[in-house]
Structure 1
Amino acid sequence: MDRRAVVGEFLGTLLLVLLAVGAAVLAGEAIGSVGIALAFGLVLLALAYAIGPISGCHVNPAVTLGFLLARRIDGRTAVSYWVAQVLGGIAGAALVLLLAKQVPGLETHGKLGTNGWGERSAVHINAGGAFLTEVVLTFLLVYVVLAVTHRLAATGFDGLPIGMALVVVHLVGIPLTGTSVNPARSLGPALFAGGPALSQLWLFLLAPLVGGALAAGVHLLTHPQPNLPAAEALATDARAAA
């Protein structure tokens, strides 16, 4: 296991939470939902180019699960990434809380950029709707990541579609659940916000993992497997085109 990759996942997840969740907490009223969505997408776009060559820039346990189930990484790598992502998410949220405490009157209890349903949703979506939302949106994100980082995809432009996908995911999801699609992004803020944010956390840990697993399954159907020899992969392409 490359220690640089693990450090990259920790740092990348920390920066994603600090800058993107921080944008929602510290500047949400000024920039609105569109600004928050752009913050998430642009941060991920920058990270894709910064740490993508080091770790693949998963910065999301659901993405790592997708790569594991698609047989793109091994179990040891997945576990080390998950640990790094969870710790990075917690560290990033701690820094967001520290910054928020410097703003007089800014409420953080039960909030802090956390996700939720019912009274904690802008449109009061129920738990079932929130679960479905997170599964579908995570499916989109993880499928795009798997597809554009595949060996047969155009190289050099991976970060752009991934960042754009995260922007779209947040444009749809912010009014519904606040948008998780990333268990590490949800866990860190909820631990510090406490209250109802913590009691609803289970959904935002489970649903993104379900979405990531579904994305891996579909990816295996639509793309040649990375571990196939080149001749066999070309034959698979020919059969698919027939």
Structure 2
Amino acid sequence: MQKKLFAEMIGTFWLVFGGCGSAILAAGFPELGIGFAGVALAFGLTVVTMAYAVGGISGGHFNPAVSVGLTVAGRFPAGQLLPYIVAQVVGAIIAAAALYAIASGKAGAELGGFASNGYGEHSPGGYSMVSALLIEVILTAGFLIVILGSTHGRAPTGFAPLAIGLALTLIHLVSIPVDNTSVNPARSTSQALFAGGWALNQLWLFWVAPILGGMLGGLIWKAFGERD
């Protein structure tokens, strides 16, 4: 169990460090910035690489909403859920702390929202709380269906990390303008802790909506996807 938890911590660290790091350090770099598309790809690549690296140890969740959805679908034991979530949040916070230390090392650094998720005036595109809630539920549900389908016995073997990583890239391409994309409460928590203020006040949505979406995706798959 300790190896599984460590794998989840390392995998979630990599997801936050690579994904949020691309947003904080590279997205707005003058002339050569990677933009929304680059950030979306970075998040997808973190999942692909770590799913291949440690997915065989822990299952490669790296996300509390994924762990919840897999539990609802009957693919993950409920007794391991809380330890997995704790490991994921710890890994994410360590990554955010490392990013904060790196980003603060730039002369005149202004960290702003620190890649936090937000709605209303803190949405990149000015989208409302309802918009953020809906898109997080829908995209997290879809993400779970991709995960459950690509790891099913009927799916081609060895390709699940690619499907899952591409799905996460697509999710970010759709929703970065709405709320900076969560679908992962651990990722949202880690950044909000360092941004403080409004990010912490709005953090509730980025736990509630992804968890609801994960549960919905798990239920949909359990009802239809597991049938022959």
Q: Quick check: TM above 0.5? A: yes
Does the CA-based 8 Å contact 1:66-1:146 persist in structure 2?
no
How many angstroms does 1:223 deviate by? Answer: 2.3
Aligned to 1:166: 168
Distance in 1 of aligned mates of 2:22 and 2:125: 21
Q: Secondary structure at the match of 1:176?
A: helix
Aligned to 1:227: none
Aligned to 2:10: 11
Aligned to 2:68: 65
Q: In the alignment, which of 145, 148, 166 is matched to residue 147 of structure 2?
A: 145
Distance in 2 of aligned mates of 1:107 and 1:133: 29
What are the Cα deviations for residues 93-122 of structure 1, in whole angstroms up to 9, with x where unaligned? 11111111111223224x111010111112
Aligned to 2:116: 114
Aligned residues: 224
Distance in 2 of aligned mates of 1:158 and 1:59: 15
How many angstroms does 1:184 deviate by? Answer: 0.2
Distance in 2 of aligned mates of 1:221 and 1:205: 24
Q: TM-score, normalised by structure 2?
A: 0.95
Q: Which has the larger radius of gyration?
A: 1
**Runs of 4+ with >2 A deviation:** none
Q: Secondary structure at the match of 2:159?
A: coil
How many angstroms does 1:209 deviate by? Answer: 0.3
Aligned to 1:89: 92
What one-letter code is carried by the residue in structure 2 that aligns with 1:151?
A: G
Which runs of 5 or more structure 2 residues have no equivalent in the other structure? none
Q: What is the Cα-based RMSD across aligned positions, in Å?
A: 1.0
Distance in 2 of aligned mates of 1:172 and 1:104: 33
What are the Cα deviations for residues 44-89 of structure 1, in whole angstroms up to 9, with x where unaligned? 1111101111111100000000111111111221111111001111
What are the Cα deviations for residues 156-183 of structure 1, in whole angstroms up to 9, with x where unaligned? 1111110100000000010110000000
Q: TM-score, normalised by structure 1?
A: 0.90
Distance in 2 of aligned mates of 1:107 and 1:190: 16
What are the Cα deviations for residues 19-38 of structure 1, in whole angstroms up to 9, with x where unaligned? 11011001111110000000
